A = this chain, B = another copy of it.
Amino acid sequence: MAGSSFGVLFRVTTWGESHGPAVGAVVEGCPAGLELSREDIQQDLDRRRPGLLPSASPRREEDQVEILSGIFEGKTTGTPIALVIFNRDQRSGEYEELRDIFRPGQGDYTYFQKYGLRDHRGGGRSSARETAARVAAGAVAGKIIARAGIEVLGYTRALGGIEIPPDTLANIPLNRESIRQNTLLCPDEKTATRMEEALREARTAGDSLGGIVEIIIRGCPPGLGEPVFQKIDADLAFALMSIGSVKAVEIGGGFALAHMKGSEANDQMNRNGFLSNHTGGILGGITTGQDILLRVGCKPIPSISLPQRTIDQAGNERVITLEGRHDVSSLPRIVPVCEAMSKIVLADHLQRQRTARWISE
């Protein structure tokens, strides 16, 4: 059934397959009167581009977004914004030998089980290529939340088992500049160097790596989130867990809170606000006005060049070796995707909150 839409008031629908003619998004519910240009969106898309990233395949993916509706004379009109990114590099022939084989760790087997058929070319709909549409839609959301003074910052906290040491993390500035100083989006240069080394090793070995992304949301007003199911943490967890590689999500202290006492975990207050932020900026599913802190665990890219055991559609045992242009890790390219999903949730909840009280009018 319908499952490619997300959001209630600010609503994103994505479409498109890895090797189809295009991928795209329809953004509904963007309020009217917002300045929005193609460049606003392209800029976010460019951050997803492999470029010379040590983690990325040499495949060129020059994603150029086009706006087909919803903007008039530089402003949103309140009607659906259709975004399309045509595929430039569509060599699907190279997937021919994979037509009947289920690649380990991919959605091949499950899509076939679900639908009885599948588009085998590069994962079809389950490809990471779909995330380009998310990033494009997230750029629209970004314009809304920027107006409300909210900033969403994602960075690479761990990659291939190498993590920024906690005491280093406590002492470095986390801002747009410190994060974007290197292509890995890791705010600590020393750690970034070690991560690059790990990526090189994995590439040489034909293997792949996972990692941890951290998201910091600053400037969020209190009051966003709906009791009791549509809590903003539930929506953020949903949004992030819907990204292909993601297998774990923590808010604030996350799993560490499970081992703390109430007297340690509770964020006490004085007249100046909260005295700590273990809760990650969300209480009872509603924002407190503090920074929202999210941690996202990403599994290694499943496409590796090492031989793997699998089966084909007829049930025959096969050994598969995936040659070709694969990223070594979903990080750092997944960072703007995590940011985009967070932005969409925030834009949606900002809009929802405008209807929460009657007396505010």
Contact = CB atoms under 8 A, between A and B. Distances in A.
Contact of A358 (B15, B68, B147, B352): B147
A204 interface: no
A80 interface: yes
A263 interface: yes
Given A16-B80, A104-B268, A110-B285, 16 more contacts: A1-B352, A4-B228, A15-B69, A22-B69, A78-B115, A79-B119, A102-B269, A107-B284, A115-B356, A158-B258, A212-B255, A231-B242, A247-B252, A248-B248, A257-B299, A263-B304
A32 B358 contact: yes
Interface string A289-333: 100000001111111101011110001110000000000000000
Q: 3 closest Cβ contacts across the A-B interface?
A: A107-B284, A3-B226, A208-B262
A266 interface: yes
Interface string A107-151: 111110111111100011110001000000000000010010000
Contact of A275 (B23, B82, B287, B309): B309
Given A251-B248, A257-B210, A285 B158 contact: no
A21 interface: yes
Given A247-B253, A355-B9, A117 B82 contact: no
Contacts of A240: 237
A233 interface: yes
Contact of A251 (B5, B33, B247, B266): B247
A311 B257 contact: no
Contacts of A247: 233, 250-255, 257-258, 279-280
B15 A29 contact: no
A171 interface: no
A279 B104 CA distance: 11
Contacts of A81: 15
A190 interface: no
A32 B117 contact: yes
Given A111-B286, A126-B284, A9 B17 contact: no
Interface residues of A, number: 158
Contact of A32 (B84, B263, B301, B356): B356
Contacts of A315: 271
A187 to B, nearest CB: 18
Nearest to A107: B284
B3 A229 contact: yes
A105 interface: yes
Contacts of A239: 229, 234
A227 to B, nearest CB: 5
A11 interface: yes
Contacts of A125: 69, 77, 79, 227-228
